[in-house]
């Protein structure tokens, strides 16, 4: 009876909120303005039919402000609509979105894309939304990302009246308690707050959340709190279950819903922080930020690719006590971690954001909130390691080497990209100089590969990729007859929509006329088939012992609308893991991939780019790989090699499972002024260096290359099979740090410019390290 009443109440509320009012006020295009994040990349003109014709050549985001700002009140309802056509003279018309910037009364942005709905150029789109509490002004916009050519016409904003319910009284809060926690779900807006009884801290929702909810049902079943709420911004109904653990200081949150999902859902709301707290962010190897950090913090990091969070958690710790919380995203394939200031100069807060599964809500989403009274980021990593073991992603080198003994050669081996025709001769030079363990990454002809594979302590590998498809039109522009994966065209191409002409673009290549032409993107559903064929044939003549697969653990998991191989992001992840698995299981190779993601730990042995925080690499590091930088960009100095910010989160979870390397456009010798610091990070983390050079650079800097190897290799080799048990900050400026490994190895490093008195006695020189 109670559930039937709840459903009737929810239906009545939604009906109330969606009743259209007569005499709606409307706005049309007025003095439109185009903007692009890329300078001089956008043009806007009025076509013969009155449409706004936008052409964008940049790779970043663009927008058209369509009207003057509109003053609004909470509860005001709007409908945006427009039609479009693709511009014939633009090779990649692209997609566009309709929505609005929402600001509060002080002009602060509450949401950049309220009500956002997307379509491909040529399709119409419409969206409806309600202004949430705190909203005071909207700025209607058309937006997009990357190259585009779209003509927007019949743009209209309709005011549908104020739909804020007047007679829906808030329900009483519901409380659940355990030995460790007191958990409360608000009857007013479904906000979650948790009191840690051990510390007394109340983890309350951050102020001014972007989304507002009206609770239609709230109850408790045992310890679990169950809620049903209507989202005012999208008029969708969501179900929330908050279940505290009876044994641990943990709360499992489950979110359910049905139907279309036009926008992200950020629930539970991020917990508020305070000065003295620190964000813990597993972006690549790991980084942390004071919650009062003025700039440089990414607003959103996806959980479904290496260019986001590489382990599915985020956290906050109190620097003074180590108390804090972490959120483990148990359903990460359509999720992201967010790091935002609630308003003005408020401290940053960390939260979760749920995304659509191919446009719909799909499956139930889960976030596990874990609370700590001490231990900080180390305790968070150890909890996540236990979680990884439970779900099967913790596969250690001790396990891997049983099936593939050659994996042992990777531990303590430098990753070398040496661009010289005499590959065997250069390898002998490295050996003679004392670099006796290395991964040769630059391939070779059959004779060279055979000779390299016979060298003691050497792995011989090559670059490979199963994402880019060279297609006939592109090859014609390039003046070539053959290209990578060309046999996968057109059947193996991923589609962005049900339109076969809307195929996904991948790597951009410069054509003979100077323009950029895009490879087609291979659908992950077919990639293993082509990989098996190509690798199997090549190994018959080239006895490689390792292989590096580009992109697979860097790019986000994809969706595909091609009816021959439809795919969700979860499918994409599974297909990519199958590709990586076959290289090790079927061909016995040591396997590497780009940047890295922990979904691939059972199948990969090293990641190129895990050590290089993706947001803080030098500009164009992926294309201009060989350029040596003599000047150090400020963001690189502050964050990429900033010991006060970086943390070895990956090593604390997976050090004994997989080798983390620098990126091939961000290697040890990339910025000579930072080489010493990179070596120190390597020795502290028990990881190996990466070197990118030609014969001339080797001869000029041979002693420096050898010194770098001798600093890093012994610790990486000795600790390769050992878990990193601990990482500690020893100095107030965070520049003196210590790691402890399960084999008893202890490494202390001084990144500072002054000697440091060690707590156990003795002194560590500036820029020095100590291994015991």
Domains of the chain (ranges; CATH) run 20-162 (2.60.120.260), 174-391 (2.70.98.30), 468-521 (no CATH)
Identify the sign of the CA torsion 436, 439, 441, 445: positive
Distance CA 167, CA 119 (A): 37
CB 281 within 8 A of CB 301: yes
> What is the per-residue pLDDT for 499?
87
Given strand 365-372, what is the order of strands in its sheet?
A: 213-221, 224-231, 236-244, 250-256, 365-372, 324-329, 313-318, 277-281, 287-290
Distance CA 682, CA 661 (A): 9
Instruction: At 698, list the tokens.
Output: 């080797």
Q: Quick check: 151 pLDDT over 80?
A: yes
Arithmetic mean of pLDDT, 59-77: 91
Distance CA 442, CA 420 (A): 9
Distance CA 652, CA 654 (A): 6
Report the 10 Å Cβ neighbour count for 403: 10
Confidence at 168, pLDDT banded by 50, 70, 90 = low
> What is the per-residue pLDDT for 209?
55
Least reliable range by pLDDT among 196-200, 344-348, 547-551? 344-348
Distance CA 360, CA 413 (A): 46
Question: Of 733, 734, 742, 736, which is closest to residue 760 (Cα–Cα)?
Answer: 736
> What is the residue-averaged pLDDT of the chain?
93
Identify the sign of the CA torsion 256, 261, 263, 264: positive
Distance CA 598, CA 393 (A): 7
Question: Of 688, 711, 689, which is closest to residue 768 (Cα–Cα)?
Answer: 711
Residue with tokens 């698995």: 581
Q: Quick check: 14 pLDDT over 70?
A: no
SS3 525: helix
Distance CA 417, CA 432 (A): 18
DSSP result, 693-707: EEHHHHHHHHHHHHH
> What is the per-residue pLDDT for 410?
98
Q: Looking at 532-645, which runs of residues are DSSP E strands? A: 546-550, 590-594, 606-608
Q: CB-based contacts of 233: which residues, under 8 Å, 6+ apart?
A: 111, 114, 115, 129, 130, 132, 210, 211, 212, 263
Q: What is the largest CA-CA distance in the chain?
A: 86
> What is the per-residue pLDDT for 17?
46
> What is the per-residue pLDDT for 211?
63
Arithmetic mean of pLDDT, 133-139: 90
Distance CA 46, CA 191 (A): 46
Higher-pLDDT residue of 185, 49: 185
Distance CA 519, CA 507 (A): 5
In degrees, to the nearest 5, what angle opens at C-alpha 45 toward C-alphas 41 and 49? 140
Question: Of 765, 712, 703, 707, which is closest to residue 736 (Cα–Cα)?
Answer: 765
Beta-strand pair 52-56/458-460: unpaired
pTM of model > 0.85: yes
CA 70 to chain CA centroid, Å, is 34
Q: Quick check: 708 pLDDT over 80?
A: yes
Arithmetic mean of pLDDT, 217-228: 96
> What is the per-residue pLDDT for 320?
98
Residue with tokens 């707050």: 193
CB 482 within 8 A of CB 474: no
Question: Of 498, 220, 263, 255, which is closest to residue 359 (Cα–Cα)?
Answer: 263
In degrees, to the nearest 5, what angle opens at C-alpha 225 toward C-alphas 224 and 226? 115
Confidence at 455, pLDDT banded by 50, 70, 90 = very high
Question: Of 231, 228, 256, 237, which is closest to residue 331 (Cα–Cα)?
Answer: 256
Q: Quick check: 60 pLDDT over 70?
A: yes
């Amino acid at each position: 009876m109670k559930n039937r009443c709840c459903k009737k109440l929810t239906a009545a509320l939604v009906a109330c909120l969606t009743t259209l009012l007569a005499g709606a006020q409307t706005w049309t295009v007025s003095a439109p303005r185009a903007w692009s994040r890329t300078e001089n990349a956008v043009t806007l003109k009025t076509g013969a039919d009155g449409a706004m014709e936008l052409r964008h050549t940049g790779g970043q985001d663009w927008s058209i402000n369509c009207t003057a700002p509109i003053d609004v009140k909470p509860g005001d309802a709007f409908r945006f609509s427009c039609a479009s056509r693709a511009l014939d003279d633009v090779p990649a018309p692209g997609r566009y979105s309709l929505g609005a910037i929402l600001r509060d009364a002080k002009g602060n942005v509450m949401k950049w894309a309220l009500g956002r709905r997307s379509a491909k150029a040529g399709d119409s789109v419409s969206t409806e939304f309600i202004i949430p509490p705190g909203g005071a002004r909207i700025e209607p916009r058309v937006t997009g990302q990357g190259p585009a050519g779209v003509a927007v016409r019949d743009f209209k904003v309709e005011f549908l009246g104020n739909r804020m319910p007047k007679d829906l009284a808030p329900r009483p809060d519901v409380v659940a308690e355990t030995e460790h926690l007191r958990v409360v779900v608000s009857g007013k807006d479904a906000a979650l707050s948790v009191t840690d009884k051990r510390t007394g801290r109340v983890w309350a929702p951050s102020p001014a959340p972007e989304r507002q909810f009206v609770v239609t049902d709230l109850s408790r079943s045992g310890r679990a709190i169950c809620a049903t709420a209507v989202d005012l911004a999208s008029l969708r109904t969501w179900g929330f279950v908050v279940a505290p653990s009876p044994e641990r200081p943990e709360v499992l949150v489950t979110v359910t819903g049905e139907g279309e999902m036009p926008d992200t859902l950020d629930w539970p709301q991020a917990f508020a922080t305070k000065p003295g707290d620190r964000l813990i962010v597993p972006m690549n190897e790991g980084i942390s930020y004071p919650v009062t950090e003025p700039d440089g913090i990414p607003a959103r990091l996806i959980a479904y690719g290496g260019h986001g969070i590489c382990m599915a958690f985020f956290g906050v710790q109190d620097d003074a006590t180590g108390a804090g919380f972490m959120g483990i995203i148990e359903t990460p394939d359509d999720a992201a971690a967010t790091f935002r200031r609630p308003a003005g100069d408020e401290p940053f807060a960390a939260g979760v954001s749920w995304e659509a599964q191919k446009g719909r809500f799909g499956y139930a989403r889960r976030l596990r909130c874990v609370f700590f009274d001490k231990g900080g980021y180390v305790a968070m990593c150890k909890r996540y390691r236990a979680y990884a073991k439970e779900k099967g992603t913790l596969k250690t080198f001790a396990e891997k080497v049983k099936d593939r003994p050659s994996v042992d050669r990777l531990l303590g081996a430098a990753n070398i990209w040496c661009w010289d025709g005499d590959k065997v001769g250069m390898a002998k030079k490295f050996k003679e100089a004392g670099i006796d363990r290395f991964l040769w990454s630059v391939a070779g002809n059959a004779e060279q590969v055979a000779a390299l594979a016979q060298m003691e302590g050497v792995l011989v590998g090559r670059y490979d990729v199963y994402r880019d498809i060279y297609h006939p039109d592109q090859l014609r522009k390039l003046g070539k007859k053959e290209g990578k994966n060309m046999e996968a065209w057109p059947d193996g191409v991923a589609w962005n929509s049900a339109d076969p002409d809307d195929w996904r673009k991948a790597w951009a290549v410069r054509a003979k006329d100077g323009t950029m032409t895009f490879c087609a993107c291979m659908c992950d559903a077919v990639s293993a088939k082509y990989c098996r064929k190509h690798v199997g044939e090549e190994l018959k003549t080239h006895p490689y012992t390792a292989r590096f697969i580009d992109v697979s653990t860097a790019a986000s998991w994809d969706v595909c609308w091609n009816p021959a191989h439809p795919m969700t992001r979860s499918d994409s992840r599974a297909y990519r893991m199958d590709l990586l698995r076959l290289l090790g299981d079927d061909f016995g190779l040591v396997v590497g991939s780009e940047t890295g993601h922990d979904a691939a730990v059972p199948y990969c042995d090293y990641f190129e780019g895990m050590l290089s925080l993706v947001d803080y690499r030098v500009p164009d590091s992926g294309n201009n790989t060989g350029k040596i930088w003599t000047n150090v960009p400020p963001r690189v100095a502050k964050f990429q090699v900033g010991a006060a910010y970086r943390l070895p989160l990956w090593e604390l979870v997976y050090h004994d499972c997989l080798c983390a390397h620098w990126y091939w456009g961000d290697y040890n010798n990339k910025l000579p002024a930072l080489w010493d610091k990179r070596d120190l990070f390597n020795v502290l983390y028990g990881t190996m260096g990466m070197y990118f050079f030609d014969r001339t650079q080797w001869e000029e800097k041979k002693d420096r290359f050898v010194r770098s190897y001798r600093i890093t290799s012994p610790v990486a080799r000795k600790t390769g099979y050992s878990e990193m048990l601990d990482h500690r900050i020893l100095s107030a400026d965070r520049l003196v740090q210590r790691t402890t490994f399960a084999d008893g190895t202890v490494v202390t490093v001084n990144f500072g410019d002054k000697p440091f008195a060690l707590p156990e006695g003795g002194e560590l020189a500036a820029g020095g390290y100590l291994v015991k």
